[in-house]
Structure 1
């Protein structure tokens, strides 16, 4: 696939994923903590599985260990910096529903960029890896859109605007996909580096944000079951595509 097609694919999965989450919130205005925790746990397990069993092995095959691991470290550092900036902003804004929802949207938009990078880099490596990554990112974006939309709805924002903001937060996925696909055409080492960066971003987001968030929302066994189900689902997707 050419970079433009990959960019459109990234844009589509990003906006559809978060947009569907926003759409569900229009009908299900007050999702339970248990439901949100399970949704985030499953999507986190799915991300972890595809990164470990598909994205990283493909990067190792393309260029070996060095460039991929350098990319992973860079990806982790990028997200740590983003996280620190968001924490500083959140501390100044307070915890009102609308502000919480909008801050969640900014955070989602920021980390949708490296997720798009994962899609673009994966397609640059092979179409099967790209398709599995695109599917996983799309599924992962659904609970993010829902978690963003729920506090916005609770804060009194009109449904059309909630849907608009959730779709808007998915656009950076297309931008990241274009960057990943374009850089991936330059050399195999750069493909592996990009895939490593994307993997590092996704691993940090999963382990530092999604799993703790899922556990905070629901402390029962269902969260662990959701993570394991997501991992198994990721393995199935990896083998089927």
Structure 2
């Protein structure tokens, strides 16, 4: 009890200092900004016949009141739900009555009550898909095409890979490292690109750090805890395959978010482009999952579990991307996937260094080949 009180004293004194600062109006300065500090994030756009619905979030320090909205420099009528000032970090749905035309681009400028403008652009107008059982089924099928089926197709290479010699096995493990490193770098880059659109309260770089470093350290802690047990080589390889599958699964969750958002926003062509590219790319992920199992004879049930763990999250991602589409969530999951795959790459590297006697060039060529393979397939996506 005494220890608790000693910890509580500085906290209580801190409260007194803050209260004193507030009561004296900022140490007597009473400083006020020359212009209101306002900030808005456009989180979602939905388009239905004759209307455009914008979901916005107030990321400024004070409550925010709306003024008027202009589309193509013409004032448009709108309704806001809820009406009235939007509290800090609060959201509102702005429904604009406007006869938009499919395929055309629109610049929308929202003015606050203080006449501060915030703009968003609709690249190509298209009807937003309704939330229904058919839509959910479509997202599920997209997730299957993007994540589950390609990963399983990659797993089917296992019988052929069993004929490889020791050096070829090491090269294959190095190839897996290259795949994972490329996926991690790509996810980090995409996360930083997306965080640029977040409001300052979300602290995008910090959010990326929490997701990426948190995932890396969690998997590393689990690995060290597991390493205390004396596993044989087969168990170690199965554990590595499981962690590769987990890391790839987290990465595919982020991919699913991007695809679900593209389809829900009516960007069907972009979504189809993504799907075809991801199908080709994710076959290599299945290859990475089975690489540690070349010397084992895992059961079909075990392989099926790895495939679902690696590819299944893509289905969940398409659901979340289509139905929720919160930008901060996308950034966090991308960072989470990046940290996971990079940690697994680190663990495989330690495994190779400990178990393999292959020449350094074998490892170098494997890592580089893995990265180059995803670079080539990524050309179809970017």
TM bin, normalised by shorter chain, reads 0.7 to 0.9
Say which structure, 1 or 2, has more relative contact order (CA 8 Å, 6+ apart): 1
1:148-203 CA-to-partner distances (Å, cap 9, x unmatched) read 242x24xxxxxxx4444233212113331123222223133333332232233233
Q: 1:140 aligns with which of 268, 276, 285?
A: 285
Compared with structure 1, are the counterparts of its residues 27 and 238 closer, same or farther at alpha carbon in structure 2 (3 Å cutoff)? Answer: closer
Aligned length: 229
Partner of 2:374: 234
Higher share in helix: 1
CA contact (8 A) 2:257 2:321 kept: yes
Find the aligned partners of 2:215 and 2:139 in 1 and give their Cα distance: 24
1:209 lines up with 2:209 in the alignment: no
1:112-166 CA-to-partner distances (Å, cap 9, x unmatched) read 431331331232354345554554343133133031242x24xxxxxxx444423
User: Per the alignment, in what secondary structure is the counterpart of residue 283 of structure 2?
Assistant: helix
Find the aligned partners of 2:149 and 2:185 in 1 and give their Cα distance: 23
Find the aligned partners of 1:129 and 1:115 in 2 and give their Cα distance: 15
Higher share in strand: 2
Cα deviation for residue 226 of structure 1 reads 3.3
RMSD: 3.4
**Any unmatched runs of 5+ in structure 1?**
154-160
Partner of 1:97: 233
Find the aligned partners of 1:149 and 1:41 in 2 and give their Cα distance: 16
CA contact (8 A) 2:174 2:363 kept: yes
Compared with structure 1, are the counterparts of its residues 122 and 29 closer, same or farther at alpha carbon in structure 2 (3 Å cutoff)? Answer: farther
Partner of 1:23: 159
Compared with structure 1, are the counterparts of its residues 13 and 224 closer, same or farther at alpha carbon in structure 2 (3 Å cutoff)? Answer: same
Find the aligned partners of 2:241 and 2:210 in 1 and give their Cα distance: 25
Q: 1:86 aligns with which of 187, 200, 223?
A: 223
Compared with structure 1, are the counterparts of its residues 235 and 116 closer, same or farther at alpha carbon in structure 2 (3 Å cutoff)? Answer: closer
Partner of 1:156: none
Larger Rg: 2
CA contact (8 A) 1:68 1:192 kept: no
User: Per the alignment, in what secondary structure is the counterpart of residue 240 of structure 1?
Assistant: coil
**Any unmatched runs of 5+ in structure 2?**
1-134, 263-270
Partner of 1:36: 172
Partner of 2:333: 194
